[in-house]
A and B are shown apart, each in its own frame.
Chain A
């Protein structure tokens, strides 16, 4: 007989996977949480410490897992100094505290830079993805091969469910955003291309060098050097020059992307990107005199990521959809985060994000310390999730988001737990009135572009 864990994670391709209500899922989720906990507690050193500190032996209710959830900041808790000093054994040791699988011992003195470090780790079965942090430090997320295999499927299932587009391998695939190179992004990109793209037609990608982990963390490293007074002015000037050149190259690639779209306008398209890039490309397409009527009426669009604090006009979605002739019922939104391995697609009927049965949602108090009682209905608070499907790291995450979690059926008719379309980051809610005489050297580091 399959365990609760196998049963829940095995629902990945089930078309009715969102149908079971939170109370229907309770028994299986509790059993699966305990299964994960027992299996991982001695293999993830940080989890072992948390379990010891909390005196946790068994999980008998969903909220029991709260003391051993990891705050999302865990994945940023590596010392910056390790990156700055290229301390590869140090980073590997840090990864070891949050990974259930041993981190490979590499030939440390042969590692040339962070990108090389990531490539070598990958060859050894440790897949490292980095988030492009909106402010400063990147999160470093370790994953296993099984997680990437799952992402390949999840990306397709989530998009198909949320947009109603069938994966029939019949579309020309155009990617219109600078994409951060990571095993996870690669897996989801490949999965989508294979499921929706025309066989044998390679996807179009923006003509710019890929954004690597090393490139993303360069700014963090330079900031630290500036704060410590060890960065030299030539280095800062070079950094600014490189940033400017990259911004110009990106502008040029948008123009080429617009041309590629126009050239493919008679084909049925699968367009992907982020809002900021899609908006700019749409503007260029319109400038060249093309709009909805010129494009195929059966197009679809996959949008990843949030706005990342980009400044766009209020009607940016309508503008993008209107440019590429995307039917209104195909509007796709997904709630997820790098720390999890699964998406929560928004339904078209109720405009709520649906939580799959192998992800356990919890609403915590704002401090993220205790689960709020939530027998039924809608409840607002700090979001926490346990993604039971994660293999390469601990599935329990306390997020930085304030959400409303609903346990009543969605207006779309589906009974499983949902997240209202009102998600905000706590970080965006704090005031700006902070004045004191105490502070750090960070205030003395002027912004880097």
Chain B
């Protein structure tokens, strides 16, 4: 990383580095001063000099959204979403051009996810979210009276927090839900963008500023980039005097970095790294028509964001007759290999290590069968036990088990979504799956579809974001 004096740096960035702009409480700060390299593709980009003071609001100031009713915030968010239309939105168009250089996802998948952006924010969805998170949503707008069993009176307010959101890098439009969550709880927000996409959050916030540059939602939002783990910045910024919550995605180094700064007054709300799976009962493998239908549904779940997403299925536990299972594997490989809305025909090829393990399994075990090649077009590997690598880049490990009940032992605290066929089997399995640590069962093929207002990571995050302030007359 090199640092250049902002005054000397050309406005369009350092050399060939892609310009990354910041958005700080309603204002765009042009990039070009500090150069970084993106994590996955090693592409150079240049941000503005980061001024930490601008990211922090003194606690003597009340949050800008405090007295804005949730209904009005939702009106504003919905008005903004009407402008999140790729063909008419210059900010999204610009972000798309830049993001294709830094992100592993192919252009068309990013484009398709941008085209869905306008549907991410709906009035019904936002209200559902508020109502499932808060027993009494009025606590967001003011002090709500309550009386205990002894007749003692009190009042309660879900007071706006000050938050840092560490955005995930694997789904470009993921930042939209972080931005709306931050707005719904009226927080003062800093969004720390990932190196694989330091663009979309700013594009969305600029769209909001186009709707109303002085709106309190806009004045509550900043989106910036710094290298995750940069001690100089994080040691200074991650303090309870400045922030109440850090919301983070992922695990490993990213979380370990943050954990060091937690302490009294500064809490972590983490969306943990997850693996998703599928479970298919014997009904799936009885005749060819059903096998075709089930393979298509399973392929839909496997290929979400070319398997970069946590809800993309990686292991498919199957119970049933061997020849049907093998026909299913064959169909599944064919269906994984096709172009779809959120997955491309060709993803990145498998890593050398993964290829090595697949070769070795094939050499050692006659029961292991492989369909497809490790070239990123889609590969299915049929085994008796789950493989020890993490299937990715459109790789499905079909695990032939005695019974679905037997497969529950492979479910852990890291298991997120489980797509089940036939869907009636969900109710039979869901308690044991929850006990094993899983958080969501769905019908096979609908991992990427949600009932509005549901929990994430087995919690309702909005109620954990807010500062529950109590006024008591005991």
Contact = CB atoms under 8 A, between A and B. Distances in A.
Decide whether A and B are members of one complex: yes
Interface of A: 45-46, 49, 71, 73-74, 77-81, 90, 93-94, 97, 227-229, 367-368, 398, 431-444
A94 B360 CA distance: 8
Contacts of A90: 364
20 contacts: A45-B363, A74-B360, A77-B357, A431-B195, A432-B227, A432-B257, A433-B169, A433-B194, A433-B229, A435-B169, A437-B171, A439-B273, A439-B274, A440-B273, A441-B275, A441-B412, A442-B252, A443-B252, A443-B255, A443-B414
Contacts of B390: 440
B412 A444 contact: yes
A433 B234 CA distance: 13
A81 B274 contact: no
B277 to A, nearest CB: 12
B228 interface: yes
Nearest to A48: B363
A74 B251 CA distance: 27
Contacts of B248: 435
B33 interface: no
Interface in B387-418: 388, 390, 409, 412-414
B364 A94 contact: yes
Contact of B312 (A46, A438, A440, A444): A438
Nearest to A137: B388
Given A439-B274, A440-B273, A443-B272, A431 B254 contact: no
B181 interface: no
B251 A433 contact: no
Contacts of B362: 49
Contacts, number: 135
Contacts of B228: 432-433, 435
B174 interface: yes
Contacts of B273: 436-440, 443
B363 A73 contact: no
B198 to A, nearest CB: 10
Interface string B157-200: 00000000011111100100000000000000000001110000
Nearest to B314: A438
Contacts of B254: 432-435
Interface in B354-381: 356-357, 359-360, 362-364
A439 B356 contact: no
Interface string B252-280: 11110100000000000001111100000
Given A46-B363, A71-B353, A437 B253 contact: no
Measured as residues with beta carbon below 8 angstroms from the partner, the interface class of chain B is 35 or more
B148 to A, nearest CB: 39
B412 A229 contact: yes
B154 interface: no
Nearest to B174: A437
B340 interface: no
B107 to A, nearest CB: 19
A144 B32 CA distance: 59
B310 interface: yes
B125 interface: no
Contact of B359 (A49, A78, A433, A442): A49
Query: Which 3 residue pairs spanning A and B have beta carbons closest together?
Result: A439-B273, A443-B251, A436-B170
B249 A436 contact: yes
Given A49-B362, A73-B356, A442-B251, 11 more contacts: A71-B353, A433-B169, A433-B229, A434-B250, A436-B250, A437-B171, A438-B307, A438-B310, A439-B275, A441-B414, A444-B251
Given A229-B412, A444-B251, A436 B195 contact: no
A73 B249 CA distance: 29
Contacts of A442: 251-252
A73 B353 contact: yes
Nearest to A366: B42
Contact of B352 (A73, A229, A431, A441): A73
- A45, A94, A438: which has the most chain B beta carbons within 10 Å? A438
Contacts of A45: 363
Nearest to A79: B388
Interface string B419-442: 000000000000000001100000
Given A93-B364, A431-B39, A444-B413, A437 B359 contact: no
Contacts of A93: 364
Contacts of A77: 353, 356-357, 360
B365 to A, nearest CB: 9
B126 to A, nearest CB: 21
A367 B385 CA distance: 29
A439 B195 contact: no
Nearest to B385: A81
A435 B250 contact: yes
Given A435-B228, A439-B252, A46 B169 contact: no
Contacts of B30: none
Contact of A437 (B196, B271, B363): B271
Contacts of A444: 251, 272, 412-414
A228 B413 CA distance: 9
B272 A439 contact: yes
B292 interface: no
B39 A434 contact: yes
B234 to A, nearest CB: 12
Given A73-B352, A73-B356, A97 B255 contact: no
B37 A431 contact: yes
A97 B364 contact: yes
A229 B362 CA distance: 28
Contacts of A227: 412
B253 to A, nearest CB: 5
Interface in B288-328: 307-310, 312
A443 B37 CA distance: 25
A381 to B, nearest CB: 15
Among A45, A73, A434, A444, the most chain B Cβ lie within 10 Å of the Cβ of A434
A448 B410 CA distance: 23
A435 B385 contact: no
